[in-house]
Structure 1
Amino acid sequence: MGQRGKMRILIVLEPSGGGSGRNALDLVAATLDRGHDTHLVYSATRMDPLFARRLSAICPSRRHRVDMDRAPGPRDLFALRGLRQLLRRLGPFDVIHAHSSKAGALTRLLPRRYGARIYTPHAFRTMDPACRGIARAVFGGVEGALARWATDALICVSPDERAEAQRLRAPLDRTHLVPNGVPRATPSVPLTRADLNLSPTDIVFGFVGRLSAQKDPLAFVEAIARIRDLTHVRVIIVGVGELEAQLQQQIDAKGLGEVIRCVGQDDAARYYPLFDIFVLTSRYESMPYVLIEAAEAGLPMIATDVSTADSIILDGQNGLVVPRADLATALPEAMEALIQPDQRSAMTAQAARLRGRYSLDRMVDQTLAVYQAALDGQGGSAGAGR
């Protein structure tokens, strides 16, 4: 360890984007600001434009490209060799913090002499309802074995993720709960309703996220189509992904082109001030940044009953939690309830009072405490939740 408690930290990431990418970049920036010697290993295989923009702000000598594939395969051997060569050149580090399952598996196959091994899954693969049978057994077996034998600290970002870690038999004394945190939103270029031809009387539902099967934007559009009166309803969808073309086809087929606007990849902070209600339709999640951002923006929310929704949303106070199993009925009913002025006004006021629970400084403090506990060999008494 460096002078006066400063650490050498290596953060390793496979999906260069989404919530895990944001978490990793936030940690890099915050730990550098606090004087730690932090480096980032990233993969360009899955990199979104927002990640690339933030990556360019990191000193070139502190960012290192090692391409990794999401799915297991023979190319993993090349990624492992690349990591080993980089560590021989730059290491050792005090801690190596891997984000997501692929980076977590590869870094924990390396000897501990390169640094204490910290792992954040950002939703175990076994939390995906589509992961069943042999695949679930294999992924679960690998995660459990690595947690027991090759992990100095496991950081879970949600209570559900921690519960899944326990089901996979991860050691309790090395499992920590550190929820994601966000800075106060500062949109790069603020938008007004006039910019998007929205009237002051429009009720705007917002969706932010990857257009993927996990986030299920198709269910969101289906729910919009079931709302009985769309006269003053407008919808903004922020994001890109593999379902983009199918989503637009669905919007056109439902005759919702005047109601729904897809704006593509953009700075979501520009759009939160335009939303009246935020909607999350995910099939599974760990600790979704978009829900935290909506909460910190003081928005009433509607979300499926996955992962941390019921810890961010106090059902009936600052939003509504709807059952994923009955989404086709429950989601349009919840949306119609919040279209009503009295209920929307009451939830908006309560949402404003509940802001400030998920700060970035708190997340960084707890993460550094986990690092220190791993170095000290003190198990879970690091100040982060367990």
Structure 2
Amino acid sequence: MSSAMRSTAMATPAPTAANSANTTSAEAAAAPRLKVLLALEATGGGAGRHVRDLAAGLLQRGHRVSLAYSQERVETGWLEAIDSLPGLKLTAVPMQRAVGQGDLVALRALRRLLASAGPFDIAHGHSSKAGALLRLAAHGAGLPCVYTPHAFITLDPELGRLRRLAYGLAERWLATRAERIICVSRQEFEHARRLGITAARLRLVANGIGPLPPAERLPARRELGLPAGAICIGSVGRLAPQKAFHCLLAAFALLESAQAPLWLAIVGDGPERPVLERQAARLGIGERVLFAGPGDGARLMAGFDLFALPSRYEAGPYVLLEAAARGLPIVMTPTGGAGEVVRHGDNGLVADDHGHEALAACLQRLLDDPAQRRRMGQRSRTIAAEYSVDRMVETTLAVYHEARAARQ
């Protein structure tokens, strides 16, 4: 694991290029009101949440916002939430996840939108597909563009060599079609540099969350089905290969607790659930592992004693911010958010590698030291306060103004 991931975000400064966008709120407030076009293909997960928060924040500050989204992978709850934002103009564009002839249809639709609903001051594409299409459309129209990957696909360690090469070349070429590229963590920033994207185009803008609704420990534990007095390691996420819950199960099987019964609760659902349930049974831990299914992870975290993130790769996951805001000590693999939201030895531990033994060693260290868990939990609350939605919106606006100046 790199030393940057073990260090704290305050002790280790972000790359200089990332800091240059950090203008003050007063400077942003004095800037002109903008007409912004956002685009997003897949509305689930962190990208959908980010776009919703960004759109709301821009509208609250008096900017005019349009959003192009795809109906192919739209989530009902997200659409209802985004449609409720006063003043937001929504347009469905036939963007598809897979590369194909449909991309030409979507590109033409975006170009028509730029012509009919414009002129816009800035375009901002989110995630790979909408980011690629909007960059092409905006570049052809002479419109300054910003791109937020929300985790480059090339971060995936399981990606084959040829696909990694192809996607890397595509990202490097498309980077020249955006005035600025926003990374949400230092790790993603450093990965972009390894792809060959120039530091001058890159900016670091962390995700942010608002205050979490109050949640009580005992009701959350009852809902999860935890026995009284149990120590609960908890995690939240989609049960998919990227999240590596198989690693967490293997780590949990190695743990011991002399203080109280030890349980693992996983909130979320996905295609790997049957495989993970069989793995838990095979490891002899099935009776102490709760697959809670889909639910309000941020609320149910109130029932956890510590939080674990075993992911293979991330950009800047919201669950880390939520766990920190709930006052939990956090153990994670060396991925996005390590060294920033989770500061090794301060509010949590970052494993040396992605293996289950390294994860288990960190978990065991905290299980053996309740006082350290309490101290780290208190620090988590303090650190979480640094990552607000307002800060994310203001810093994004600063990047917009940079992008416009770079285009002129």
CA distance in 2 between counterparts of 1:195 and 1:252 reads 22
Is 1:337 aligned to 2:370, yes or no? no
Q: Is the 8 A contact 1:283 1:324 kept in 2?
A: no
**Residue among 94, 107, 114 paired with 2:121:** 94
**C-alpha deviations, 1:319-363, integer Å up to 9, x for none?**
1111334x2212222222222223323322333443412111111
What code does the residue aligned with 1:309 have?
A
Aligned ranges for residues 290-329 of structure 1 at < 5 Å? 290-325=319-354, 327-329=355-357
Q: Identity rate of aligned residues, in percent?
A: 39
What code does the residue aligned with 1:155 have?
I
TM normalised by structure 1 equals 0.89
Aligned ranges for residues 156-171 of structure 1 at < 5 Å? 156-171=183-198
CA distance in 1 between counterparts of 2:261 and 2:75 reads 33
Is 1:40 aligned to 2:50, yes or no? no
What code does the residue aligned with 1:337 have?
R
CA distance in 1 between counterparts of 2:36 and 2:379 reads 40
**Residue among 32, 35, 39 paired with 1:12:** 39
What code does the residue aligned with 2:191 have?
E
CA distance in 2 between counterparts of 1:188 and 1:115 reads 45
TM normalised by structure 2 equals 0.84
Aligned ranges for residues 168-247 of structure 1 at < 5 Å? 168-186=195-213, 191-199=219-227, 201-229=229-257, 232-247=261-276
Is 1:119 aligned to 2:147, yes or no? yes
Shift of 1:17: 0.9
Q: Is the 8 A contact 2:224 2:300 kept in 1?
A: no
What code does the residue aligned with 1:217 have?
F
CA distance in 2 between counterparts of 1:84 and 1:107 reads 9
Alpha-carbon spacing, 1:350–1:185, altered in 2? closer, same or farther (3 Å): same
Q: Is the 8 A contact 1:237 1:261 kept in 2?
A: yes
**Residue among 132, 143, 146 paired with 1:105:** 132
Q: Is the 8 A contact 2:183 2:189 kept in 1?
A: yes
CA distance in 1 between counterparts of 2:120 and 2:215 reads 35
What code does the residue aligned with 1:133 have?
R
RMSD: 2.5
Q: Is the 8 A contact 2:302 2:326 kept in 1?
A: yes
Aligned ranges for residues 248-267 of structure 1 at < 5 Å? 248-267=277-296
Q: Is the 8 A contact 1:17 1:50 kept in 2?
A: no
- Paired residues in the alignment total 375
CA distance in 2 between counterparts of 1:50 and 1:272 reads 21
What code does the residue aligned with 1:272 have?
M
Alpha-carbon spacing, 1:74–1:207, altered in 2? closer, same or farther (3 Å): same
Alpha-carbon spacing, 1:291–1:374, altered in 2? closer, same or farther (3 Å): same
Alpha-carbon spacing, 1:334–1:171, altered in 2? closer, same or farther (3 Å): closer
**C-alpha deviations, 1:90-118, integer Å up to 9, x for none?**
12211110011111111111143363211
Shift of 1:197: 3.8
Secondary structure, in 3 states, of the residue corresponding to 1:138?
helix
Q: Paired residue for 1:153? A: 180
Worse overlay, 207-216 or 64-73:
64-73
What code does the residue aligned with 1:10 have?
L
The unaligned stretches of length 5 or more in structure 1 are 380-386
CA distance in 1 between counterparts of 2:124 and 2:191 reads 20
Alpha-carbon spacing, 1:59–1:359, altered in 2? closer, same or farther (3 Å): closer
Higher relative contact order (CA 8 A, sep 6+): 2
Q: Is the 8 A contact 1:160 1:307 kept in 2?
A: yes
Alpha-carbon spacing, 1:103–1:272, altered in 2? closer, same or farther (3 Å): same
Alpha-carbon spacing, 1:200–1:352, altered in 2? closer, same or farther (3 Å): farther
CA distance in 2 between counterparts of 1:166 and 1:351 reads 29
Secondary structure, in 3 states, of the residue corresponding to 1:377?
helix
Secondary structure, in 3 states, of the residue corresponding to 2:263?
strand
Worse overlay, 223-232 or 290-299:
223-232
Q: Paired residue for 1:351? A: 380
Secondary structure, in 3 states, of the residue corresponding to 2:242?
coil
The unaligned stretches of length 5 or more in structure 2 are 1-29
